[in-house]
Amino acid sequence: MDQIHVIYGSTTGMTEAVADKIAKALDAQAFNIGAGDAAAFDAELLVLGSSTWGVGDLQDDWAAKLDEVKRNFASKKVAVFGLGDSIGFADSYCVAAETIANAAKAAGATLVGEILKIDDTNEADQTDGKIAAWVETIKA
Ligand SMILES: Cc1cc2nc3c(=O)[nH]c(=O)nc-3n(C[C@H](O)[C@H](O)[C@H](O)COP(=O)(O)O)c2cc1C
């Protein structure tokens, strides 16, 4: 079994870009949840990422798959990141990441690290620094 897989859902590509950066920093493979690749869950640590849509909703591919895939979280280590818009959606900022973290915990996963929340819309200059710092906490 691989050590780490990054699994993301992304509608306009922003979460995908961050997932690719996190995967590179962790020397891990990245999987799009929308692709339906069962091998995505075959790792000791799953790094799960989703943008938030609607008002506090999961990204579409996660919304379609979360119920079906959450059994794969049992007895796994899980880390979670989210992308959102902290100005346009201050009251529902990155709620999808919290939804995924809660689903993983309920399914028996152990959460690793804090939820990483990224606003690439308004604070793109902070993205790389946040990723680098967060990845260090996940490795530890
Ligand atoms: C119609 C719409 C609804 C959104 N709703 C939220 C929201 O409730 N909370 C949030 O934090 N961001 C929200 N966003 C911002 C997106 O999550 C953000 O643009 C994100 O970077 C998109 O990532 P993706 O391209 O990977 O899907 C919304 C954006 C749009 C266009």
Ranges of each domain in the chain: 2-139
Task: Give 20-65 pLDDT, tens digit per residue.
Answer: 999 999 999 999 999 999 999 999 999 999 999 999 999 999 999 9
Cα 52 to averaged position of ligand 1 atoms, centre (Å) = 5
Confidence at residue 100, expressed as pLDDT on a 0 to 100 scale: 98
pLDDT at residue 140 tops 90: no
Confidence at residue 43, expressed as pLDDT on a 0 to 100 scale: 97
CB of 90 closer than 6 angstroms to any ligand 1 atom: no
Confidence at residue 104, expressed as pLDDT on a 0 to 100 scale: 98
Amino acid at 8: Y
Contact between 51 and 96 under an 8 Å Cβ cutoff? The reply is: yes
pLDDT at residue 2 tops 90: no
Contact between 76 and 109 under an 8 Å Cβ cutoff? The reply is: yes
**pTM of model > 0.75:** yes
CB of 97 closer than 6 angstroms to any ligand 1 atom: no
What token pair was written down for 90? Answer: 């201050």
Confidence at residue 37, expressed as pLDDT on a 0 to 100 scale: 95
Confidence at residue 1, expressed as pLDDT on a 0 to 100 scale: 81
CB of 89 closer than 6 angstroms to any ligand 1 atom: yes
Residue 3's SS3 state is strand
Confidence at residue 13, expressed as pLDDT on a 0 to 100 scale: 98
Task: Give 97-135 pLDDT, tens digit per residue.
Answer: 999 999 999 999 999 999 999 999 999 999 999 999 999
Give domain 2-139's CATH architecture: 3-Layer(aba) Sandwich (3.40)
The closest of 50, 70, 66, 56 to 117, measured between CA atoms, is 50
Helices (H), 27-120: 60-69, 95-106
Q: Which residues on adjacent β-strands are paired with residue 53?
A: 57
Average of pLDDT values for 83-93? 98
